[in-house]
Amino acid sequence: MSSELRVDRIVPVDGVASDSGANRYGGGIIQILQHTDSNQYTTSSTSYQQGPQTPTFTLKKSTSKVRVIANYMIYADARSSGYLTCRCALYRGSVASGTRITQGSQPIMYESGGGVEYYRAFCTLSFLDAPGGNTTYSLAFLKNNSDGSNPYILGTQMQTVITLEEYSA
């Protein structure tokens, strides 16, 4: 008895890159790291402050791209000011010495107000990065308006989850 194997193509372990243009990227997933953080972070600053940070992500290949996905909860007690304005961004490295990778002045902005005492928002940031080597990633946040309530990243009620996916070139 004999077997027959038919394939229309064979994909290498590193994946098949189709187009490395700005809007598309081909290749297979090499590894995934999921980092959870149950800490609570708060700020009264109108400059980006350090939030949850991943451990060092060791790439298998320095030419790989990394998809960074952060899921988290923003919170404010607005009983004293009545509203919340908060911006969040992703950084390669720490906020103090790293590079902001999400583009624009407001990668994600949460703004609310008007008669509610507590605000909660479930947020997601995602970015495809080309770090060129091993790195950490950080979630940063700031108080967008000095008159508003201080924002919190609540890892205590909903864990912050940052997922890193390495894609082959």
Q: What is the CATH number of the domain that holds 107?
A: 2.60.120
CA angle centred on 32, ends 31 and 36, rounded to 5°: 155
Domain tally for the chain?
Answer: 1
Q: Decide if 134 contacts 55 (C-beta within 8 A).
A: no
What residues make up the domain containing 87? 29-160
pLDDT of residue 164: 97
Output the pTM of the full model: 0.81
What is the rounded CA–CA span in Å between residue 6 and residue 21? Answer: 32
pLDDT of residue 156: 85
In a 13 Å sphere around the CA of 136, the CA atoms on its Cβ side amount to: 17
The answer to whether residue 156 sits within a structural domain is: yes
pLDDT by position in tens, the chain (length 169):
677 877 666 565 655 555 555 555 556 889 999 999 999 999 999 999 999 999 999 999 998 999 999 999 988 777 766 667 788 999 999 999 999 998 876 666 666 665 566 777 888 999 999 999 999 999 999 988 777 788 889 888 889 999 999 988 7
149 φ, ψ to 5°?
-75, 155
pLDDT of residue 26: 59
Looking up tokens 């507590």 gives 118
The answer to whether residue 166 sits within a structural domain is: no
The answer to whether residue 7 sits within a structural domain is: no
